[in-house]
Amino acid sequence: MTTAGDSDVDPAIRAYVDRRLAEISPRVPDNRVTMVVFSGELDRQLASLVIATGAAAMGLDVSIFYTFWGLSALKRGNRLAGKNFKEKMLAIVTPGRLGQMPLSTKNFGGIGRIMLKAAMRDKQVASVEEFFAMAREMGVKFIACTMSMELFGISQDELVEGVSLGGVATFLGDAARSRVSLFI
Amino acid sequence: MTTAGDSDVDPAIRAYVDRRLAEISPRVPDNRVTMVVFSGELDRQLASLVIATGAAAMGLDVSIFYTFWGLSALKRGNRLAGKNFKEKMLAIVTPGRLGQMPLSTKNFGGIGRIMLKAAMRDKQVASVEEFFAMAREMGVKFIACTMSMELFGISQDELVEGVSLGGVATFLGDAARSRVSLFI
Amino acid sequence: MTTAGDSDVDPAIRAYVDRRLAEISPRVPDNRVTMVVFSGELDRQLASLVIATGAAAMGLDVSIFYTFWGLSALKRGNRLAGKNFKEKMLAIVTPGRLGQMPLSTKNFGGIGRIMLKAAMRDKQVASVEEFFAMAREMGVKFIACTMSMELFGISQDELVEGVSLGGVATFLGDAARSRVSLFI
């Protein structure tokens, strides 16, 4: 970045400072937050979305990489057509949507989830679906893990709009230039 | 930081180096570690406190942000008075204190917890309560998540002394200038 | 790092730039990724190894610190000889090897694990043991947490070859100079 005063400084010195900064600057993070969401549990998904929307509101770039059970957050619902037997079984036992996910603990066959959702409504906290929509509007980048899609037999047309696809290199590329990286 | 030798260097050059460093230095982390403790499980809480005390012993500043089930670590015990029905239910099903928490796995109705605590005593490892007290003495900053307090209907006078209150911006403010950020 | 052009620059200026860079460079991370693997669950272990091998393939140095239930990933199998009663109980209830671990969810008494392994074979994804072997070949550093070994009564000869031992300071030493640190 060249500014008014820079012309006072000898070009050889500027080149020297450039070289010295180039030794460290590629490892200085950008204003970025990256999360892996592995868990398919409503409370952990909510935590990731609260962090994502908070970070976006602070002007940070945010990526969420959805893998394994976490991937259910991006599904429109469960579809069985076109799946083989094992894929159907996996689809049946995993939630088809964000709002259907159980809690990580104290779920009590769904009562815990209902209690939490009711408490959130009472306290006028946005629902997990509203947090997801907010995150999307704020420009949070959602990435579906291609290895997990392959394993669970999920195709891109089963996912909500505006989702990118990526592998571990995509995640690491974002995480390595992030000020905060979390596994949730 | 000005040192003896700096006066040998032309002020225009010093100003140039300042400008160039200012491009990256706001994104270089401080000597700081930040954790979100989401889990209300004894073993995960213990892991976070071992890391916190270890980091403090190495001279790093440490913040722990307690959210969701993790918040129980900061409670003096469960209080039902002044809570509505849903809040009472949540209080009843969540541990009232750090030492009452179950394990994340192999809890066997509390037997696992007892076994782990006995093994820790046998091996002269500090208990989770001792680790918490040590962390506090070493200056670890404990922050209670205000959104979780609101959701669970927990007021500040139910929490142990010396806890700060904060939201996701507080967490991100610390995490974004940390060398290590973990979600536990 | 001295290069051809550096001799054009006055030594006093070079010393000044050195001093200024020394203020920030110790806190700029290396090309390194560090993980704590706390969980003894097959799917979480797999996620950590996919990240580890991906990072190593991108030329990053990788350390995985195995603690608590995660430590089972490094065991050759369960050995009861030489253990006291509590240590035997802990050995019996924890998996003796990586491949024996349950899933974090949907395990259904082992059926979920079998389904996941079958899906991985069908889709020609490497098994968790193959990922572990790949990680080792790619130079990923495996560290067993000495406090956990002590607690569970596990000695080094029960662990696979090529594992280092370390405490929380070892983990923090690596994590504090990492571009990405994760708790899994």
> What confidence tens digit (pLDDT) does each residue in C77-88 have?
888 888 888 888
Burial zone of A128 (CB within 10 Å; 0-12 exposed, 13-18 middle, 19+ buried)? buried
Burial of C161: CB neighbours in 10 Å, binned 0-12, 13-18, 19+:
exposed
Per-residue pLDDT tens digits for A13-68? 999 999 999 999 999 999 999 999 999 999 999 999 999 999 999 999 999 999 99
- Smallest CA–CA separation between A52 and chain C, in Å? 17
Residues of B in contact with C181 (CB under 8 A): 180-182
Q: SS3 for C103?
A: coil
Whether A113 contacts C146, CB under 8 Å: no
pLDDT at residue B4 is higher than 70: no
Residue B80 sits in a domain whose CATH number is 3.40.1260.10
- The answer to whether residue C5 is domain-embedded is no
Whole-number pLDDT of residue B108: 76
Buried b (16+ CB within 10 A) or exposed e, A146-162: bbbbbbbbbeeebbeee
pLDDT, one tens digit per residue, over B137-169 is 999 999 999 999 999 999 999 999 999 999 999
Classify residue C96: in a domain, yes or no.
yes
β-sheet bridge partners, residue A102 = none
Residue type, A36: V
> CA separation (Å) from A40 to A45, A152, B184, C6?
7, 13, 16, 55
Does residue C155 form part of some domain? yes
Which residue in chain B has the smallest CA separation from A11?
B13
Q: Tell which residue, A72, A77, A56, has the closest CA to residue A145.
A: A72
The total of structural domains in chain C comes to 1
To the nearest whole number, what is the mean pLDDT of chain C?
91
β-bridge pairing B32-37 and A180-183: unpaired
Question: What's the first-to-final CA gap in chain A, in angstroms?
Answer: 37
Q: Which of C14, C33, C47 sits opposite A68 (nearest CB)?
A: C47
Work out the angle between the directed axes of helices C11-22 and B11-22 (0-180°, nearest 10): 30
Structural domain contains residue C70:
yes
* Rg value, chain B, Cα: 21
Q: Name which of A56, A11, A46, A65 is nearest A175 in CA terms.
A: A65
pLDDT computed for residue C3 by the predictor: 62
Percent of residues, chain A, with pLDDT higher than 70: 97
Length of chain A: 184
* B22, part of any domain: no
Q: Which chains touch B (3 or more CB pairs under 8 A)?
A: A, C
d(CA A141, CA A74): 12
Instruction: Say what the pLDDT of residue A3 is.
Output: 62
Q: Is residue B11 part of a domain?
A: no
- Of the candidates C15, C176, C181, the beta carbon closest to that of B5 is on C15
ipTM score: 0.91
Q: How far is CA B150 from the centre of its chain?
A: 19
Whether residue B4 lies inside any domain: the answer is no
Task: State how far the Cα of C15 lies from the Cα of B13, in Å rounded to an integer.
Answer: 13
| Res C1: pLDDT | 53
Span B9-67, pLDDT tens digits: 999 999 999 999 999 999 999 999 999 999 999 999 999 999 999 999 999 999 999 99
Which domain range does residue B143 map to? 30-183
Asked, for residue B24, whether it belongs to a domain, the answer is no
